[in-house]
A and B are shown apart, each in its own frame.
Chain A
Amino acid sequence: MITIELLVAEVAGLQRPDVQRWIDNDWVRPGGVAGAYLFLDIDVARVRLIRELRDELDIDEAALPVVLLLLDQLHDLRRRMRELGSAIEQTTPNNVRAALLQHLSQMGIE
């Protein structure tokens, strides 16, 4: 968990007002309170990602919310898929899993 000062020092090319604006836009949701934010590892990684999208991939801040929204949904879905995968793993007998796998491979997915 790091403060905003450390964050700005650690991430190259990052300006403090950028971070503040991203928080105001709800793109980054650190812990703590305004003036004394605390950034978890995931918040730091997200700040890096936003900076990279903006500075290296040329996605301007007008388009960023769309990218983040879709990205968040993608990760939601991936989490759900993993939950489903482990639910299948824990609850279904081997032959059902084999049948499922075979069906999926017949769909040309494997």
Chain B
Amino acid sequence: MLQALSKRISSPNDPADAHRRQFRPASEGGGVHTIAETDSADPYKTLGVARDASQAAISRAYRKLAKRYHPDLNPGNAESESRFKAISGANGLLSDPEKRSRFDRGEIDSSGQEQARPPPYRDYAAGEPGRRYGRAGPQPAEWGDDDFADVFGTMFRDGRSQTGPRRGADQNYSLTAEFLDAVNGATRRLTLPDGRTLDVKLPAGTGSGDILRLRGQGGDGFQGGAKGDALIEIQVLPHRFFQRDGADIRLVLPVSLTEAALGGPIEIPTPGGAVRMRVPPGSDSGTELRLRGRGVPEHGGRAAGDLYATLRIMLGKPDPALNAFLKHWTPEQADDPRKDMT
């Protein structure tokens, strides 16, 4: 195909069309063609079969070759076209037992055996009428960006409008952000490959995979066109103990046995700084405390999230006094903590 294209370019007279005309069938007045190649003088050789091959073997050989050289399966390939003519001519001669035996006796030769074929399908298909069976339907398909990108790669991406100003290309970067910077918002400096630095303002509530667009920080425009944008994909690093869950923040909060049993004020870290709160007496491991509005701060029209602290009781180092007490302690209500597991 590219061959045909380049030939078109080299000559306005379009030799690609010329060779197609040359093989136009009988309907155009050319009559039955004879094949000049010496090979075609021997139809057995053309089909690659022995002289005593059975009719079935001849038919098999023909089909095998026809599948490869059928001109409608090889549009624009002149060699394939002439091969197919020879093949079908040979088949026409050898598949007819009477003609075959006359040929074997030397009464006829192989010339004149090519059958006149009506214009092949491809003569129509690649032209205007072929739109009828095109994928886009009978209407002429428009040349969209997809065609160019799909078939010609980026060849036309920067060349579609050579005459007028064009906006510069967008450029992609990635930036890794600390967890708290992403939750609370921060400004980070990004050094670009070309040495420029960009101050990137991370809005509160930025998540991993978010893309920030910095207008006018991309590639230069052409012929007075605006600059493209810089697109920055954010990767948020995990935090030591905070976990993000949409607008909420979760953490596991260690408490002492005393704090859990007797309750009392403790300090809880939140993304916005430590907050004092009261643990209710008798809080067990796994109890979830909610601090309203202490999750991801309000951002982009979304209300602030909450902070969920799940308590985990820590016994700490062995304490002789505690152990001594527990040895002589009889709980008021003996309770098996594993009773649900049996």
Contact = CB atoms under 8 A, between A and B. Distances in A.
B9 A89 contact: yes
B4 interface: yes
B143 A83 contact: yes
A66 B150 CA distance: 21
A75 B134 contact: yes
A72 B138 CA distance: 12
A97 B9 contact: yes
A89 B140 CA distance: 20
A76 B6 CA distance: 19
A45 B118 CA distance: 8
Contacts of B135: 72-73, 76
B9 A101 contact: yes
B94 to A, nearest CB: 14
Contacts of A1: none
B126 A78 contact: yes
B9 A46 contact: no
B219 interface: no
A105 B70 CA distance: 28
A82 B122 CA distance: 14
Interface residues of B, number: 41
Interface stretch (B46-54, B71-79, B193-201, B325-333): B71-79
- Looking at chain A's contact residues, the main secondary structure is helix
A59 to B, nearest CB: 8
Contacts of B125: 42, 45-46, 71-72, 75
B8 interface: yes
Interface string B101-141: 00000000000000000111111111101111111100001
B133 A75 contact: yes
B8 A105 contact: no
12 contacts: A42-B124, A42-B129, A42-B130, A45-B123, A71-B73, A71-B125, A75-B122, A77-B1, A81-B5, A82-B5, A82-B8, A89-B8
Given A75-B130, A82-B5, A110-B6, 17 more contacts: A29-B133, A46-B124, A46-B125, A49-B72, A53-B70, A56-B63, A56-B66, A74-B75, A76-B136, A76-B141, A79-B134, A84-B5, A85-B8, A89-B12, A101-B10, A104-B2, A109-B2
Interface of A: 29, 40-46, 48-49, 52-53, 56-58, 71-86, 88-89, 97, 100-101, 104-105, 109-110
Q: Which 9 A-B pairs have the closest CB atoms?
A: A42-B124, A75-B125, A49-B121, A42-B129, A45-B121, A85-B8, A78-B126, A85-B5, A109-B2
